[in-house]
Amino acid sequence: MSLVVVGSMAFDAIETPFGKSDKIIGGAGTYIAWCASNFTQPIKQISVVGGDFPQEELDALTARGVNLEGVQIKKDEKTFFWSGRYHLDMNSRDTLDTQLNVLENFQPVVPESYQDCEFLMLGNLVPAVQRSVIEQLKNRPKLIVMDTMNFWMEVALDDLLKTLAMVDVLMVNDSEARQLSGEHSLVKAAAKIMAMGPKYLVIKKGEHGALLFHEKQIFFAPALPLEDVFDPTGAGDTFAGGFIGHLARTKDISFDNMKTAIIVGSAMASYCVEKFGTQRLREISDVDIESRLNEFVQLVNFDISVG
């Protein structure tokens, strides 16, 4: 039984108030794999790259326990490229350039060896591509988690809703939850979105933490207050990778364990933003992760004995 991850593998060029990156490795699938591989291996990756994607990057993922059988390499095409510039507040950004390249006609093929999929993480991608992976699996995974973004709500809402109806957990940020539901109150938004299919909803609020909704239950996870956010790129994908990685490792999909998974995701995201791209995720050890998880415990731990 295994974790299957679907998501882009890309080149990014990033500008922040702190500096400018070269063309570096990015993509939702990449961040998820680097992050989740701390918790569970193998990870069975589904993606597409061009002939320009560095072999050493593929080798590094393989060494990390990421199975690349489901990653198509289109030798004569170019890898997806995104370039963006963050504003001073690090919450908003302008897209400077998007070159879909290999993503334009991406048709994922699920290898036979991936059919043991128990946990499926659908990284942010064309909703129809996400759905195609679900449909190719002969047995429904124990848990399907879907990340998406406002862009798909604008250009592919019908497809998004169809895919949404097939998943267990949806992850969006607060403005996307409001956009998708038409409700300002996140409590009302969550109720409407869960009525669209997913039994669980994670609302990411960046520096304000994250909320997990399930039926009438709510869990509020903080974000670690940081001195500096160096590069927010991939923080949401890393959060997803920590979330699904913890669940796949523990094989426990109870609400209580999802709460822990959200803390794990938040801890990993707090590392991700400390350096450009996936750099920090490649450096950190189990000891670092434990230490940051303990910071989260300290951050929210209180004693109520009023009355």
By CB under 8 A, the count of residues binding a second copy is: 48
- Choosing from 260, 265, 272, 277, the residue that interacts with a second copy (CB under 8 A) is 260
Residue 89 within binding range of a second copy, rule CB under 8 A: yes
Min dist. Cβ of residue 65 to a second copy (A) = 18
Residue 305 and residue 121: Cα distance in Å, rounded?
40
Alpha-carbon distance of 6 to 44, in angstroms, equals: 9
Taking CB under 8 A as the rule, does residue 301 contact a second copy?
Answer: yes
By CB under 8 A, tell whether 303 contacts a second copy.
yes
Is residue 228 a contact partner of residue 18, using CB atoms and an 8 Å limit?
Answer: yes
- Tell which positions 176-205 bind a second copy, by CB under 8 A: 184-188, 205
Tokens at 223, concatenated? 């974000």
- Closer of 105 and 220 to a second copy (Cβ): 220
**Is the CB of residue 274 less than 8 Å from the CB of residue 232?**
no
| Residue 300 is a binding residue for a second copy (CB under 8 A) | yes
Closest approach of a second copy to the CB of residue 152, in Å:
24
Q: Which of 76, 138, 158, 307 binds a second copy (CB under 8 A)?
A: 307
Q: How far is the CB of 24 from a second copy (least distance, A)?
A: 24
Q: Looking at 94, 228, 251, 283, which residue binds a second copy (CB under 8 A)? A: 228
97 is a contact residue toward a second copy (CB under 8 A): no
Cβ–Cβ < 8 Å for 71, 46: yes
Q: How far is the CB of 61 from a second copy (least distance, A)?
A: 22
Q: Which is nearer to a second copy, 165 or 226 (CB)?
A: 226
Q: Give 195 or 306: the residue with its C-beta nearer to a second copy.
A: 306
Contact between 211 and a second copy by CB under 8 A: the answer reads yes
Minimum CB separation of residue 222 from a second copy in Å reads 4
In the complex, the residues that contact a second copy under the rule CB under 8 A are 39, 88-89, 184-188, 205, 208-209, 211, 217-223, 225-229, 246, 256, 259-260, 262-264, 286, 289-290, 293-294, 296-307
